[in-house]
Structure 1
Amino acid sequence: MTVSPDAPKVIFTDDGWILSATEPPLTVEKLKAEVVDSHNWPGGALWWSIGDHEVYHYETEIGEIIGEAIEGLDEGTYSFVHSGTPGVIGKIAANVRALMDECGGPVTALSKLCREAGLQFFPRVRMSSHYEIDPRNPAYGRFRRDNPELLIGKPGEELAVGSLPWGQRTGLNYAFPEVREYMRRIIFETFERFDVDGVELDYMRHPGVFRSDEAYQNRYLMTDLIETVHNRLKEVGAERGRDLQLAVRVPPTLADSVRIGLDVESWIRDGLVDIVAVGGGFIPFETPIREFVEAAEGTGCQIYGCIEATRHMDDDAVRALAARWLSHGATGVYLYNFYTIYPEWNQRIAEEVSDPSRLARLNKRYELDRAGPLYPSRGHGGAFRYASPSTTLPVTLRSTSDGAGPEFSIEVTDDLDSAIADDALEGCSLTLRFEDISPDDEIEVTINGGTIARQAGGFAAEGWTRMGITCHFWMAYPGYPEERQNEGKSLTFEVACPPLRQGDNAIGVSLVPSSGNAGGAVTLTNVELDVAYKQ
């Protein structure tokens, strides 16, 4: 894959927070100041979500505009997105209408503002939302309410509460031609009517576009839709004398993508997609960006890794992810749910993660991720797990016959030898997080085959903090990261170089048998490797 010099290094996404957070009427002036100007960084892009659950927040002539279909419905019924902020549906509807009256609507305004600012602009289409929403709520959407036979769950079908099929039962089923045709018309509208640079089809909001037992067999149907969109997009681009681009956001591995009916590798190989954003951002350190880059070899397709703010947004982890992905050949970073963070944070992070030479001597924290349980499943949470690979963590450490425990691999991008030679390295440390560890528990740790420590649980520190976004972050601008307390205990070990090295590092963790913990077990939840530089 050849990284295009014209491709954005950082893609900022926005779910339309300003429509929820602004007291009507929202104006174009405010839209420019708090959305476009906030993300107008050289080499950046702004991709804007047009709605959810087929209830649209833009001036569509095809779909349902929010606030249109409310007679006989009850906003007081449950909606995962809206119930925590009563009255917000009416506020969004009023602001969409205000922009339609002032300038034509949100997408008309944003496409013009971004063009004037030199900022790439894509509308973002959610392909099948799995949020839990009561059908009586206006946010559920007329298309699903009127066509229950076109959903993943069959009318009258009995499903075990908490199972994956139950969690996905109200999602769109693209096996039906009526669903594919409806979404085709929505997608076409975003680039036929508006002066945009392309369109994103977001399959991570939310994963699951077929019944799970039919997804792999039906992948050809989604490929047909992708090809149809690609061909029309290129036709419109040729008419305008511009290259309009098709982007997709997909599960974190090629295998998981095709398993759920998305033949992403074929889309890349056959030139049907121009940009692939990889993953939901919840297990970013377990996301093999390199396999997507290799799939794109010999094509013009650009690959981005996704970072999700609701996971956590510590600077050191963001830098580690960006450094790893860029070293694997990715074009850049795709930021999700960061849209209300104060502009100075956006600019600083964008400048750091887009420049490998600058990243090289900045502190980083490499981590291992947790995919979570397959059961119970609720709505979008289960959908994310459905599209993810299994992970080693969390893992319960128990005594074994040979004394060995699980082994993990952590890749370090940093050139540690060079940093030591330049006297730039402050030090490296390995931290293990435990759900429970007692003073009688003894842990042995190895790195690349050599034992670095044996330590008793009595030395474990209580709890730790991570930086995260605030509750209802989409309702407040500017937003500021806040510390979140995590329960558990931690053991931290200083690590020399060697045994730690640039590249893959094998880390072994085992519970040492002793009279104090005979038959006991310890749950390991996190493994973190910090690289710190002299400032």
Structure 2
Amino acid sequence: MKNNRERRFVLCNDGESLSGPADDAPMTKEKFIEVTLGPLKNTQIDTFYWQLGTDVFHGSPTLRYSDVYSHDTSAAPMWGEDMEIFNSSTDWRIYENTRSLIEQGNDPPKVLIEAGKDMGLEVFISTRFNDVHDGITDTKVPYSSKKRDNPDWLLGPTSNPSKIERLKSFTRFAYNFALPEVREYKMELVYESIEKYDLDGWDWDFCRFPRFFPEGTEEKNIDLITEMMRMVRSKLDEKGKRINRKLALSVRVPPIIDTSKNYGLDVKTWIDEGLVDIVVAGVTHGNMHRVPVEDLIEYTKNTQTEVLVQNPGLFFFTRPYSSEILFNEPNVFTDEMCRASAATYWQAGIDGIYLWNNHLIEWAANANYNRGPWKEVADPNKISKLNKHYLLDYDPIVIIPRMGELGRTVPKAPLPAKLDKAGDSINLKMDIADDPTDDSIKSVVFRILINNLTSLDVLEYKINETKIEYNKKHINYNHYWIDFELDRRVLVKGFNSIDINTIKRNKMVNNSLTIESVELFVNY
């Protein structure tokens, strides 16, 4: 138990409520609270992160206006303060909702902190450390007046058009934290927020986005962000002493410590010096089922630093299209998938779950989303004997190559995997949290999707060295799904070894066999 709590369950809302995705402006204080915090009622969520910024998502091609804020601040640019006309209704709604709330004395963070505490939540203020959404569109200038007024503060080159060169289209409007002016500017927003709001903690999201210094200078500059962390810790401690309450510091970083270091983030020192209370193992490019969080768990074992992991949320663009057609799957992660992901993380030894972009599901994917995972995944005992759907991760960079331009924050996912000719083989590892010796398990189904498989291809399949045979197939054009009804005793709790060996190829098909999905259903 760390920080006198058994476990923590965080929902991070990055500000979409103010865009009025399902309501018109102006929004009343009561409506703002209902839209933002109402969905958290009757769930297991105990900690709420409100991310400062201006998030428009489907309201604009850029999805978010980087380094422009929708709260009462004198430390940074506010959305709409330098505009007379807006490009979309969403742009106007964010401005109008923020303006009208502040005019009535209802600064959005203040409102949510007060309402959240009334609900029994811990409420943190969060910011993205170096968001670059403005750089990934074709806009000629940044949305932030601070960036426009100080182009020499940016990594640049600012003239680099989007979608041409690796990395530079992402960093053209990103701040260069090697410059003292940039660090001072960022600290002003932190200091103002800590002093102004009755927060329970501060969160810095380094996964949005992990570029902070000119390429190749990360090691040289690594102490600069650590010094900023010390300053935040000192400010939190100073205020905490005044109000007789500990204020926490949270960060979202890549799950592997050395990967963070490669970007100029000395997470190991942050933990060693007791600077951080919470480390969230984040995924920059969407969501994954199982990232290697063991590194952080091991390093924080004898500390009070909590390790949280990002559970699947909104973006599931790696799911094969045919899963919806053949199996009637929804276009979001199912409850069974979220249970399986969470169960493996609890088994690994995490201290809590962090939900990213889950608040968006009802607006961006499914208006009838029931938020089932919010009500169960924070309790490993509750989900231990519930149905689960395990999946191996599919590398999102294969689907959207530009994601790779920022560099990897997690290792390459095991899928897709290709088999070209007889003799080719692949070994995969799948972590499961269920106990295969449990007699309450009613059935176990192993499923594989192999693109371009035909009846003339011959493959051999093994799990933990035991040969298995499939007994059902589902075909949709090139997608060839095969199901194996398993004897559960073939499996082990923990990591299972999966071997697929090519015995014979159909000579009439001149294309690779591509393993696109590997899944396991455990049913009670």
TM-score of the two chains, using structure 2 as the length reference? 0.86
Identity across aligned pairs (percent)? 27
2:87 counterpart of 1:96: no
Deviation at 1:322, TM superposition (A): 1.0
Pick from 49, 74, 77: which aligns with 1:64? Answer: 77
Paired position in structure 2 for 1:475? none
Pick from 322, 328, 340: which aligns with 2:342? Answer: 322
2:376 counterpart of 1:352: yes
Paired position in structure 2 for 1:428? 444
2:410 counterpart of 1:388: yes
Paired position in structure 1 for 2:483? 492
| 1:283–1:369 Cα contact (<8 Å) kept | no
SS of residue matched to 1:32: helix
* Greater CA drift, 442-451 or 207-216: 207-216
Deviation at 1:416, TM superposition (A): 1.6
In 2, distance between residues paired with 1:42 and 1:511? 46
SS of residue matched to 1:47: strand
SS of residue matched to 2:489: coil
Letter in 2 for 1:297: K
* Greater CA drift, 382-391 or 187-196: 382-391
| 2:37–2:116 Cα contact (<8 Å) kept | yes
| 1:374–1:385 Cα contact (<8 Å) kept | no
SS of residue matched to 1:386: coil
The change in CA–CA distance for 1:440 and 1:152 in structure 2 (over 3 A counts) is farther
Letter in 2 for 1:509: I
Aligned runs of 1:159-198 on 2, under 5 Å? 161-198=164-201
Aligned runs of 1:144-223 on 2, under 5 Å? 144-154=147-157, 161-223=164-226
In 2, distance between residues paired with 1:12 and 1:451? 43
Aligned runs of 1:363-512 on 2, under 5 Å? 363-373=387-397, 378=402, 381-382=403-404, 386-400=408-422, 403-417=423-437, 419-420=438-439, 424-453=440-469, 459-462=473-476, 488-512=479-503
Paired position in structure 2 for 1:9? 8
Paired position in structure 2 for 1:470? none
Paired position in structure 2 for 1:479? none
2:299 counterpart of 1:295: yes
* Greater CA drift, 279-288 or 185-194: 279-288
CA distances 1:433-456 after superposition (whole Å, capped 9, x unpaired)? 23332332222211111221378x
Deviation at 1:167, TM superposition (A): 2.8
Deviation at 1:296, TM superposition (A): 0.8
Paired position in structure 2 for 1:54? 67
In 2, distance between residues paired with 1:211 and 1:316? 42
Letter in 2 for 1:303: V
In 1, distance between residues paired with 2:514 and 2:401? 22
| 1:204–1:384 Cα contact (<8 Å) kept | no
CA distances 1:179-207 after superposition (whole Å, capped 9, x unpaired)? 11111111122211111101110111222
Paired position in structure 1 for 2:38? 37
In 1, distance between residues paired with 2:277 and 2:370? 25
SS of residue matched to 2:513: strand
In 1, distance between residues paired with 2:183 and 2:394? 34
Letter in 2 for 1:389: P
Paired position in structure 1 for 2:315? 310
Letter in 2 for 1:437: L
Aligned-pair Cα RMSD in Å: 2.7
In 1, distance between residues paired with 2:409 and 2:248? 25
The change in CA–CA distance for 1:345 and 1:75 in structure 2 (over 3 A counts) is closer
Deviation at 1:383, TM superposition (A): 5.9
SS of residue matched to 1:68: coil
Deviation at 1:33, TM superposition (A): 1.9
In 2, distance between residues paired with 1:48 and 1:241? 23
2:340 counterpart of 1:336: no
* Greater CA drift, 508-517 or 254-263: 508-517
TM-score of the two chains, using structure 1 as the length reference? 0.84
* Greater CA drift, 342-351 or 55-64: 342-351
| 1:322–1:332 Cα contact (<8 Å) kept | no
In 1, distance between residues paired with 2:374 and 2:359? 13
Deviation at 1:385, TM superposition (A): 5.0
Q: How many residues align?
A: 487
SS of residue matched to 1:446: strand
CA distances 1:333-364 after superposition (whole Å, capped 9, x unpaired)? 11111114569966642331121111111111
SS of residue matched to 2:215: coil
| 1:435–1:488 Cα contact (<8 Å) kept | yes
Paired position in structure 1 for 2:25? 24
In 2, distance between residues paired with 1:460 and 1:292? 40
The change in CA–CA distance for 1:336 and 1:43 in structure 2 (over 3 A counts) is closer
In 1, distance between residues paired with 2:514 and 2:232? 47
Higher relative contact order (CA 8 A, sep 6+): 1
In 2, distance between residues paired with 1:492 and 1:399? 23
Deviation at 1:376, TM superposition (A): 7.6
In 2, distance between residues paired with 1:13 and 1:136? 31
| 2:167–2:406 Cα contact (<8 Å) kept | no
| 1:19–1:91 Cα contact (<8 Å) kept | yes
| 2:287–2:310 Cα contact (<8 Å) kept | no
In 2, distance between residues paired with 1:158 and 1:227? 37
In 2, distance between residues paired with 1:314 and 1:68? 41
CA distances 1:230-272 after superposition (whole Å, capped 9, x unpaired)? 1111111111111111100111322221111112222122211
In 2, distance between residues paired with 1:163 and 1:123? 33
| 1:134–1:140 Cα contact (<8 Å) kept | no
Deviation at 1:112, TM superposition (A): 1.4
In 2, distance between residues paired with 1:278 and 1:326? 13
2:385 counterpart of 1:361: yes
Deviation at 1:53, TM superposition (A): 1.0
* Greater CA drift, 240-249 or 261-270: 261-270
Consecutive unaligned residues in structure 1, runs of 5 or more: 77-85, 464-486
CA distances 1:208-236 after superposition (whole Å, capped 9, x unpaired)? 22233222332221111111111111111
Paired position in structure 2 for 1:112? 114
In 2, distance between residues paired with 1:210 and 1:377? 22
SS of residue matched to 1:219: helix
In 1, distance between residues paired with 2:148 and 2:52? 20
Letter in 2 for 1:489: Y
| 1:204–1:251 Cα contact (<8 Å) kept | yes
Consecutive unaligned residues in structure 2, runs of 5 or more: 54-64, 317-331
CA distances 1:14-72 after superposition (whole Å, capped 9, x unpaired)? 1222211132221111122222232144551111111051100111121111101226x
In 1, distance between residues paired with 2:6 and 2:45? 7
